[in-house]
Structure 1
Amino acid sequence: MNSESRLKFLKPDDSDDVFAVDRETQNAETTSFVFNPNRNLSLIAQRDKLPIRKFVNDILYCLSNYQTLILCGECGSGKSTQIPQILYEKGYHAKGIIGITQPRRVSAITLAKRVAEEMGQVFGEEVGVACRFLNKFNEDTKIKFMTEGIIMREIFANPLLSEYSVIIIDEAHERNLITDCILGLLKKIAKKRESLKIIISSATMDAKLFRDFYNFRSKSNPKDTSIILTVEGRMYENEIFYLNEPCADYVQSTVDTIMKIHHKEPAGDILAFLTGQEEITRAIRMLREHMELTNVTEDELKVMPMHASLTHHDQLRVFFHTSRNTRKVIIATNIAETSVTIPGIVFVIDCGFIKLNWYMADLQINMLVVTPASQATARQRAGRAGRIKNGKVYRLFTQEEYQKLPNITAPEMRRADLSTTILTLKALGIDNILRFDFPSAPPAKNMLASIELLYALGAIDSEGNLTNDGLIMAELPLSPIHSKMLLESRELGCSDEILSIVSMMQVQQIFSYPKSGQGAITARRQRRNFEVAEGDLITYLNVYQAFVANGCTKEFCGQFCLMYRHLKRVVEIRNQLELMLTKQFKMKFNSTAASTTIIRRCICAAAFPFAAYLHHSGTYRMVRGDTEVNIHPTSCLYTEKQPSWIVFGEVVHTTKLFVRDITTIESPWLLELAQHYYHKTSVRNNQI
């Protein structure tokens, strides 16, 4: 069945259409990030037309009378770019730096550049940015955009943030793990520093929760310390369409809808939301096949991905203008939901799903789970359309299903591994983690499981205090498992190889996976050049060493079906980690080239909590909990003779529980390297 007969929409008066229009249309307004099509307007004129500029006096009044402002501004009202400028114009920069946090690197960089441009400043001077692998600021910087990880490092260095006069937490509705941690720390700082002003900003969030959280009113001081301000926005109308019947494959439906829009709708770029990199890659491949069949050229339809694993340059490509007759199609994860507004977007396609981390405390494992999105997420995605003219939003689910969605996505604090958070808080001197004031308290079982894991890794002692290794693990921008792996490599004499492996594990995908034809056969044959029986992590090491030995060239990656941009990012990450370890921790690097046994022992010494053995049924069982798991199809061990014992790095839940980043081990290593965690018992199958 072709796309013409499969998807019919855009005619709300036709009862036979697959899509039905929502009569209550949603609105989205222009933003400071959109390049106004009226070219004769100056940047200042564009800026002054933004809705947030009408509320300058209200914002200043709230900040004068309250320490914390909860700012609810509709999508595109100008919150992210205008609030820092308003504060700068009113002299807040004279009292200290105006700091703005963003949940993602690309939003921090692009917003900083836009604000510098609007202010007529050189980017990196008065207006700067700080994020992983990029620092563009100096001692004269007064407005500083940061990722949330950077402000956490700032709190390490300066617990009261005395250099800052205002801290703006943008896109607070995302409620990821580090956001909630920062919100809790800012509450403690605010009690000590009454002069520090805090602004919590978002388009879709539980404003009352944040207001009550930052309200320090007491009997001795009955005055409220926080207030909510809601900002209206100037909006273009969005029509929202739903499916009449559920679709079997939302990736296929996304591709069909893109082609339908391109053939039937007037000019306007398309933004489609999918859950992850693998789905985006599949959708782009399918879309290009459609283009070939229908004789649509790249000059007519320019398709681009947008996800966190892309290099900074590749992420910024989506913001570049195309020629007049070219329609731009961006297929993105939720990285495109907030803060950054891609110019020219008129049509949005929402698959209705999102990929979340979910922590199973009983097994101490994080799972990547694809779940239905929330209504707040759907509204946020819809707000990406209609920025320059009336827009259309296509939701690939029924209106009845939308009504069943939860109002908001569960905060990551309630569904994530807390070991990194606990390490960070303890390094900041907060000993009683169980009594720390989070905006949403995490489940006690998650907290206790994370503490148990840190104790097993040697990061904390029996009294709950940080060990020397724990202090280093708190400083490193890695998970505790990966940090432990690096620390163990010092004693085992394989730190050079382990650093390469850990760096490779920071990117999502290094192999190219064509889905059909000769390309898939060729890619599989080329992967054989690197694969070894010892598992995925040793395979990653072989790939990295071969990439460096061949000059880190794009030609080498093309020949062996490798992802060039991801491997280039690995090189960047490795260089940064090596610089940190040598300068800050005086770590010396050594190498073992004799065999992989030492490297595998080192991996086992850190990843021992995630060990599994081959059950007589042909599947693997985790040593802890005896849960059945399966080798992921992308693992180099998937079609090989299955080893008796493995450790793994990640669990993915689709049709089954699949494990990835696998390394083969010997069962005696668990007793030798983790005798505090395992003991041997006399049971069948020689289980530990």
Structure 2
Amino acid sequence: MKVKLGEEVGYSIRFEDKTTEKTRIKYMTNGMLLREYLVDRDLPQYKVLILDEAHERTVGIDILFGLLKETIKRRPEFKLIITSATLDADKFSIYFNKAPIIHIPGRTFPVEKLYLEEPEMDYIQSGIETIMKIHLTQPPGDILFFLTGQEEIDSTCSIINEKVQKLDKRYPKLIALPIYASLSTEQQKRIFEPAPPFTRKCIVATNIAETSITIDGIYFVVDSGFVKQKVHNPRLGMDQLLITPISQACADQRAGRAGRTGPGKCYRLYTEKAYLNEMPIVSIPEIQRANLADTVLILKAIGINNVIDFDYMDPPMHNTLISALHHLYAISALDDDGKLTQLGRKMAEFPLEPPLAKMLIVSEQFGCSEEVVTIVAALSVGNLFIRPKEKEEEADRRKRQLSSSAGDHLTMLQVYNNWIKNGKSPSWCKENYINFRSLYKCEDIRKQLIKIMKKYHIQLISSHNNPIPIIKSIVSGFFVHAAKRDPQEGYRTLVDGQQVFIHPTSSLFGRNPEWVVYHELVLTTKEYMREIIAIDPQWLIELAPAFYQKSDGTQLNERMRKEKLKPLFNGVKKDQKPWKVSHRTTIGPSYH
């Protein structure tokens, strides 16, 4: 169109807005469109809205379906176009009052699917070996390798790039490039650039490359068969980050990436039997497996108070919604009537998980908002450290030098501050095995969060190296994620007594403090806690008195004895509506 980006054509994503008053065509994420509903539910600024990749069925997409359905009723002239390559069109047409269906045939090429003869336990190593074999034996064409997350991808790219250095010069070069959601826009652009002469690209990606982006020149796909998903357990009130098998529909989408430019091949790192018998046909909509606390918060901020009866295409489980209400009440985002508090309204304005938003907002009261905004930005980015396979010991030694004995949150803060002190030096990052891309992204997110803080007059105040206010801010948001050391092995969560362990990458690994609060649980070989901070248990009573209750004197000598916690909603009445309160009893530990 020959226009300047950000003027006639612009975009809006989390922590980045590239639009002006001149913008006439605007690209945005589902989350950003949801946030525009906070301003006006009729979306008067838009005449036509195209909702792409609707088959992904993220929570954001499903909530937008219900909101847009209402917008269409109020604005008959408003046009909504829903597009997808793999959509169950009839189901969507019925939901949107028998909307017309238009089929547009696409041009694709045949893809040969190759399966393993026997199951392979290490899909990363198997994938790397397959990529090297493709590079050395197959004709020109770029490779796309599907993995589950940033750590796997960064590590795999490092290994591939190191292996290529050892190849005989008569072979073409191979460049491994990462792609995942937390990469900056500039970094993501690299995967679309043509490879230099006598060079093959290998894109190592999360499921973001299944449908959300199209990369020209891909002739070979290597599919691990796995995806990383956050799954909410409403019984425990906890999120678990699980690596799970993909569905057959996702596997077919991945294979299809090899057939966009010409005939291609898909190397599946699983057996055909596993594809036919072990993979579900389609993926479960995210709304039926995710933590809905942030969704409920934004719906209430939009003005939809009865979230149980909202017009969902596929309704979430009732107890998941009740769990979300409980959690929002516990962190003071809702009052006794299930309505937004002043704090809850502020929390809804931040594009963060509710516990992170609360942690950031209350940090001003604790006098440490300057430090906490850095920690929140770092948590939004992900892992700051790199651990190359052949330099693990050296990387671990460097990490220990930068680590805080108090925990991972303060380690992140120390890394960021040291990076700033060293002039944001890429060589300092390389020397200390730090992902400089993640730090630049962290800095960018930090700036965006500070803008929102200024809007709500939240001042930047430093604790001047005092860790206690910082840890109290973290506990204020994440007290539900508390755990106590088990004298036998590992830790026990306070909410349900579930056995969990400190992740080997944590700065607290081997230190084993008595009490901790963690950011999330990851299930691999064990249930691991990630991003952990050591705490004083008295802070749980001080900062969450409606959630934790100190045991009476008769229980002082009984280890891990459990007692009922105080109700999450005070003054429960028999006539209260189910969307307001659950009668589920929450059990927690006795401690002293």
Say whether the fold is shared (TM-score over 0.5): yes
Assess if the C-alpha contact under 8 Å between 2:485 and 2:513 holds in 1: yes
Residue 560 of structure 1 corresponds to which residue in structure 2?
432
Aligned-partner Cα distance in 1 for 2:17–2:474: 32
Are 1:586 and 2:586 an aligned pair? Answer: no
Match of 2:134 in 1: 261
1:378 is aligned to 2:246: no
CA deviation map 1:446-479 (0-9, x unaligned) = 1111100000000000101000000000011111
Distance 2:365 2:170 in 1: 57
Structure 1 residues 137 and 496, CA gap change in structure 2 (3 angstroms): closer
2:158 partner amino acid: R
- Are 2:468 and 1:597 aligned? yes
Q: Post-superposition shift, 1:299?
A: 5.7
- Other-structure match for 2:145: 272
2:113 is paired with a residue of what secondary structure?
Answer: strand
Q: Partner of 1:429 in structure 2?
A: 303
Task: For residue 569 of structure 1, report the CA deviation from its aligned partner.
Answer: 0.9
8 Å Cα contact 1:426-1:466 kept in structure 2: yes
Which residue among 462, 473, 480 is the counterpart of 1:609?
A: 480
Give 2:185's aligned residue: 312
Q: 2:318 aligns with which of 440, 444, 447?
A: 444
What residue in structure 1 maps to residue 62 of structure 2? 180
Equivalent pair of 1:351/1:396 in contact (CA under 8 Å): yes
2:531 & 2:170 partners in 1: Cα distance?
Answer: 38
Match of 1:656 in 2: 526
The residue that corresponds to 1:485 in the other structure is 359
Choose from 336, 349, 354 the match for 2:209: 336
Other structure's SS at 1:589 match: coil
Equivalent position SS for 1:125: coil
Cα deviation, 1:325-371, whole Å, max 9, x if unaligned, reads: 21111111111111421121111111111111110112211111111
Please state how far the C-alpha of 1:555 moved relative to its aligned partner.
2.1
Aligned to 1:635: 506
**C-alpha spacing 1:136/1:595, structure 2 compared with 1 (3 Å):** closer
Shift of 1:241: 1.7
Structure 2 partner of 1:139: 21
Question: 166, 187, 202: which one pairs with 2:48?
Answer: 166
Residues 358-390 of structure 1 show CA distances to partners (whole Å, capped at 9, x for unaligned) of 101122111111111111111111121122221
Q: Deviations over 1:505-525 (max 9, x none)?
A: 111110121223xx3222222
SS in 2 for 1:635: coil
Out of 284, 294, 302, the residue aligned to residue 410 of structure 1 is 284
Partner of 1:59: none
* Aligned position for 2:516: 646
Q: In 2 relative to 1, CA 210–615 (structure 1 residues): closer, same or farther, beyond 3 Å?
A: same
Alpha-carbon separation, structure 2, partners of 1:526 and 1:533: 14
Match of 1:665 among 523, 535, 538: 535
Note the C-alpha offset of 1:298. 9.4
* Matched residue SS, 1:138: coil
CA distance in 2, matches of 1:213, 1:413: 16
C-alpha change, 1:522 and 1:353, in structure 2 (3 Å) is same
Alignment of 1:124-273 (within 5 A): 124-215=6-97, 224=98, 226-273=99-146
**CA displacement at 1:594 relative to structure 2:** 5.2
Q: Supply the distance in 2 between the matched residues of 1:530 and 1:144 (Cα, whole angstroms).
A: 42
Could you tell me the percent identity over the aligned residues? 41
* Matched residue type, 1:513: R
CA distance in 2, matches of 1:288, 1:564: 18
CA distance in 2, matches of 1:423, 1:614: 33
Q: Partners of 1:634 and 1:254 in 2: how far apart? A: 23
Deviation at 1:293, TM superposition (A): 4.5
Query: Which region of structure 1 is more displaced relative to structure 2, 457-466 or 519-528?
Result: 519-528
Instruction: Note the alpha carbon deviations across 1:591-611, whole angstroms, 9 max, x for none.
Output: 112521222122112211111
Q: Structure 1 residues 424-433 or 598-607, which shifts more?
A: 598-607
Q: Which amino acid is the alignment partner of residue 568 of structure 1? A: Y
Contact 1:291–1:297 (CA<8 Å) still a contact in 2? Answer: no
TM-score by length of 2: 0.91
- 1:532 paired residue number: 404
> Does residue 1:359 correspond to 2:232, yes or no?
yes
Q: How does 1:23-172 map to 2 (within 5 A)?
A: 119-172=1-54
Looking at structure 1, the residues matched to 446 and 265 of structure 2 have their Cα atoms a distance apart, in angstroms, of 43
User: 1:542 maps to what in 2?
Assistant: 414
1:283 corresponds to: 156
Could you tell me whether the CA contact under 8 Å between 2:47 and 2:77 is conserved in 1? Answer: yes
The DSSP-based 3-state class of the residue aligned with 2:204 is strand
Cα distance, 1:442 vs structure 2: 0.5
Cα-to-partner distance string for 1:641-688 (whole Å, 9 max, x where unaligned): x11111110110001100011111111111121111011222622633
Gaps of 5+ in 1: 1-118, 216-223
Whether contact under 8 Å (1:268, 1:345) holds in the other structure is yes
Aligned to 2:545: 675
Aligned equivalent of 1:50 = none
What amino acid is the match of 1:165?
K
For 1:569, the equivalent position in structure 2 comes to 441
Q: Is the 8 A contact 1:275 1:370 kept in 2?
A: yes
Which residue identity lines up with residue 519 of structure 2 in the other structure?
G
Number of matched pairs: 557
The one-letter amino acid of 1:342's match is: I
**CA distance, structure 1, for counterparts of residue 477 and residue 184 of structure 2:** 29
1:494 aligns with 2:368: yes
- The one-letter amino acid of 1:442's match is P
Counterpart amino acid of residue 254 in structure 1: G
Q: Report what 1:523 is aligned to.
A: 395
Which secondary structure does the structure 1 equivalent of 2:38 belong to?
helix
Deviates more, 1:348-357 or 1:528-537: 528-537
Q: Secondary structure at the match of 1:358?
A: strand
- Distance in 1 (CA, whole Å) between partners of 2:380 and 2:310 is 30
**Counterpart contact for 1:630–1:659, Cα < 8 Å:** yes
Cα distance in 2 for partners of 1:565, 1:297 equals: 32
Is the deviation greater in 326-335 or in 205-214? 205-214
Secondary structure in structure 2 of the residue aligned to 1:383: helix
* 1:303-340 Cα shifts (integer Å, max 9, x gaps): 11111232222211010011332111111111111142
Which residue identity is paired with 1:171? E
Pick one of 382, 385, 395 that aligns with 1:508: 382
One-letter amino acid of the counterpart of residue 429, structure 2: C
Secondary structure in 1 aligned to 2:242? strand
Cα RMSD of the aligned pairs, angstroms, is 1.7
Match of 2:491 in 1: 620
CA deviation string 1:24-74 (max 9, x = no partner): xxxxxxxxxxxxxxxxxxxxxxxxxxxxxxxxxxxxxxxxxxxxxxxxxxx
Q: CA 1:380 to 1:537, structure 2 compared with 1: closer, same or farther past 3 Å?
A: same
Distance 2:433 2:484 in 1: 32
Shift of 1:528: 2.2
- Give the superposition deviation at 1:540: 1.2
CA distance in 2, matches of 1:442, 1:587: 35
Shift of 1:166: 1.3
Tell me, in whole angstroms, the C-alpha distance in 2 between the residues paired with 1:280 and 1:297.
27
SS of 2:333 mapped into structure 1: coil
